[in-house]
Amino acid sequence: MALFDWGLVLSEILIVTIMVGLIRIVRGPTAADRMLTAQLFGTTSVAILLLLGEAQDNPSLQDVALIFALLAAITGIAFVRHTWNTEPETHD
Amino acid sequence: MSFLQWSIDGLLALTLLWLAWQLLTHPDLFRAIVLFIAFGLIMALVWVRLAAIDIALAEAVIGAGLSGTALLVTLRRMGERQPQQRNSEPHHDSEA
């Protein structure tokens, strides 16, 4: 029962940190700041999912956490490869 | 315990509504795409809270991951097609 409470409390703290991180999306100076905030949301969501899975005795949430980690990496790679260009290059 | 669960759901709903409002009303396309990715992540967390774990999986894969990647690639292609500088070469990449 104690573990149940602590999982929910910690996941709520992590949700509050996500809401604080929204500030950096709104007033991030560069595109990389905004994209790194999305990466931070992915990492924090993995932590929230693992804590909720532990709190609700639901081990299948670990699979959802795995998918989150995988897709955050894919989104970051797409940003670096396709959007974040600081110098001109020849396409194709 | 019940208050904790209510407050978690309320915070998630508030964040989701704020993200949706921001991404629909902002003129900067790249910021809207990043907000869309964040919206997909929070939406998947909401599906988990609603005990719909398979829908959370689909939302994380399709909504946040593949759609975000496709939108980023599309934004770059749009920037290539628009004439940014009239005097320079037409395949100059633009920073969104």
Dihedral over Cα of A84, B89, B80, B31: its sign: positive
ipTM reported for the complex surpasses 0.85 = no
B51: left (phi over 0), alpha (psi -120 to 50) or beta: left
CB neighbours (10 Å) of residue A91?
A: 10
Q: Any CB–CB contact under 8 A between A57 and chain B?
A: no
Helix axes A31-55, B29-49, angle to 10 degrees: 0
Q: Any CB–CB contact under 8 A between B93 and chain A?
A: yes
C-alpha dihedral (A3, A4, A10, A12), degrees to nearest 10: -170
Domain contains B34: yes
Position B87 scores a pLDDT of 47
> Would you call A25 and B15 a contact, using CB atoms and an 8 Å cutoff?
no
Element (H, E) at B70: helix B67-81
Distances B94 to A92, B33, B78, B87 between C-alpha atoms, Å: 16, 16, 9, 14
Domain contains B69: yes
Q: Any CB–CB contact under 8 A between A35 and chain B?
A: yes
Domains in chain B: how many in total? 1
Among partner residues A8, A85, A91, which is closest to B5 by beta-carbon distance? A8
Q: What is the CA angle A67-B3-A8, rounded to 5?
A: 35
- Domain interval for residue B32: 14-80
- Low-confidence stretches of chain A (pLDDT beneath 50): 3, 89
Over residues B13-60, the pLDDT tens digits come to 999 999 999 889 988 888 898 899 999 999 999 999 898 888 988 988
Position B82 scores a pLDDT of 62
Domain contains B5: no
Among partner residues B7, B64, B93, which is closest to A12 by beta-carbon distance? B7
